[in-house]
Amino acid sequence: MKIALLNGPNLNLLGTREPALYGRQTLAEIEAGLAEVARSLGAEIRCEQHNGEGELVTAIQLLRGSCDGALINAGAYSHTSLAIRDAFASVALPYVEVHLTNIFGREPERRHSMLAPGARAVIGGFGAYGYELALRGLVAMLAPPRP
């Protein structure tokens, strides 16, 4: 099973960007941990980070036929981007939306997600561990049912 992890704007600064809010783990550390978890689940994960909305849309389009599902932390684009949601719909790729923080406990403009209506699930508020929860959940959802 092949899973893509897409991270949006400013997530390349994890570890140093507002650590009290987003934690001290770097994106590279999160990705390395997810690679280990993916292997233990019999899956493969490929990771990308893009600051631009159009770059994320292109990355999603390129997943068609090469991945079984995706995890996405679109950062601030989660709250504004119909284009990212439409890209997932256009390639018919199941995805889980991930947030480091509980977006529903934050500022009013962050309490709505444009991506959530198309997502299989939304995980937020667990910090970096949320990525692992999302990966485990997506792999379980995509696995064939046991007899």
**Residues designated as active site:** 22, 99
Instruction: Give all strands of the β-sheet with 121-124 in edge-to-edge order.
Output: 44-49, 2-7, 69-73, 95-99, 121-124
C-alpha dist (Å) from residue 53 to 25, 83, 128: 24, 8, 22
Helix axis angle, 129-142 relative to 27-40, nearest 10°?
Answer: 30
